[in-house]
Amino acid sequence: MRTLDIDWADLEIAFRDAGSESHLDQDSGEVVSVVDGFDDEREVRERLARYPGRFVRITPVDTAWSTEVLHKFIARQRGALKEHLVDAVTGAGALSRATAVLRDDKAAWASFSRFEQAELLKRMEQFLADHQLSTQAAAPSLELFEGLS
């Protein structure tokens, strides 16, 4: 297993940004992103092509992943919140409706945000493990949402 100095924030952005094509440099730990139309697009594409085995493509999370996380969160809830969320996730537009239910309750939104962040960190850590990579720095804590509840 290779240990890299990875910037967790950059890695998270790559996992969340479906609008760019991101790769992890297995030598340096750098997250490299190709954004169509940016000045460095050609240079980055050439770098990726020049060292094809060095970079691992990062697949960003999608609505299927978000929906799965939401269902896991709902399964852990009780009472009225769970009932409202179960009602919200039925039919088209479920993710938007459930998000609206959560945003109406500051504590529930903070709890979901922490839960979703933890699930994303698990996904990122699994990605690294799948590629036999580890990091020098531990994943960040979930304190970001502590003041919201």
Q: Is 89 helix (H, G, I), strand (E, B) or coil?
A: coil
Query: At residue 137, what is the residue type?
Result: A
What is the band of 32 on the pLDDT scale with cuts at 50, 70, 90?
A: very high
Residues 69-92 pLDDT 10s: 999 999 999 999 999 999 999 888
The pTM assigned to this predicted structure is: 0.88
Q: Is 114 helix (H, G, I), strand (E, B) or coil?
A: helix
Contact at 8 Å (CB) between 33 and 17? Answer: yes
Q: Is 76 helix (H, G, I), strand (E, B) or coil?
A: coil
- List the structure tokens of 51: 């060292």
What is the band of 144 on the pLDDT scale with cuts at 50, 70, 90?
A: low
Residues 36-57 pLDDT 10s: 888 888 999 999 999 989 999 9
